[in-house]
């Protein structure tokens, strides 16, 4: 299984936009690879429409999208045409045609209890080619694309500011859109931080739970 913090495996994939070498093709950019069980299925169709409708938001965050399933290229092309003709949405990002299953096997996407269909998975990969987030969904449940956008923004914010991100950020129930300062590493730092909190020089509930507004 692929794990968080590992390098995305080097793969040459065939897509609706031609052959692409991963992760090199997206060097210097974030990219999100998301697998879907099959073309011409209702849940997957709703997901592709949702991804495409937010594609500009992903690109504004220096992030590209690439889909994947074990269908062949012609199936992807016909499905993309159907989505445009019937739903008025032009899917602009590439889709990997993994008809031999080699890419899915390399990424651990073949679920033994679900036949040969790919798992409904999401990999967020940073500009250095490191896998930063992995999400798995069952075939019956469509993804929340806004949560994937939120997770991407959270990762980028954490990296840029060396902070942690609270639940439901930027609408956390305790601290709103503020971010969490990493805990003190020594007893001295903990004591000093607690004093700053008491003097209201720093926001926080305790030395291990301090936060700030960016």
Active-site amino acid positions: 44
Closest residue by Cα to residue 157 from 61, 87, 72, 82: 61
Selection from 93, 44, 37, 21 nearest residue 70 by Cα: 37
Respond yes or no on whether the N-terminal peptide bond of residue 23 is cis (omega within 30° of 0): yes
Is residue 58 within 8 Å of 65, Cβ to Cβ?
A: yes
How far is Cα 34 from Cα 152, in angstroms, rounded to an integer? 14
Cα separation, 80 vs 43, in Å, equals 15
Q: Are 150 and 166 in contact (CB under 8 A)?
A: no
């Amino acid at each position: 299984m692929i794990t968080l913090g590992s390098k995305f495996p080097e793969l040459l994939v065939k897509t609706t936009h031609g052959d692409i070498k991963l992760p090199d093709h997206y060097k210097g950019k974030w990219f999100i690879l998301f697998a879907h069980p099959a073309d011409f299925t209702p849940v997957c169709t709703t997901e592709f429409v949702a991804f495409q409708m937010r594609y500009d938001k992903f690109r504004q965050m220096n992030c590209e999208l690439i889909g994947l399933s074990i269908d062949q290229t012609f199936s992807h092309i016909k499905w993309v045409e159907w989505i445009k003709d019937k739903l008025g949405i032009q899917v602009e990002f590439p889709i990997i045609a993994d008809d031999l299953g080699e890419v899915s096997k390399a990424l651990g996407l073949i679920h033994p209890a679900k036949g040969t269909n790919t798992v409904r998975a999401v990999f967020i990969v940073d500009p250095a080619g490191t896998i930063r987030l992995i999400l798995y969904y069952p075939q019956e449940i469509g993804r929340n694309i806004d949560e994937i956008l939120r997770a991407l923004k959270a990762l980028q914010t954490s990296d840029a500011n060396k902070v942690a991100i609270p639940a439901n950020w930027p609408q956390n129930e305790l601290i709103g859109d503020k971010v969490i300062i990493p805990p003190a590493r020594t007893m001295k730092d903990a004591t000093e931080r607690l004093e700053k909190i008491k003097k209201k020089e720093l926001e926080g509930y305790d030395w291990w739970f301090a936060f700030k507004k960016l």
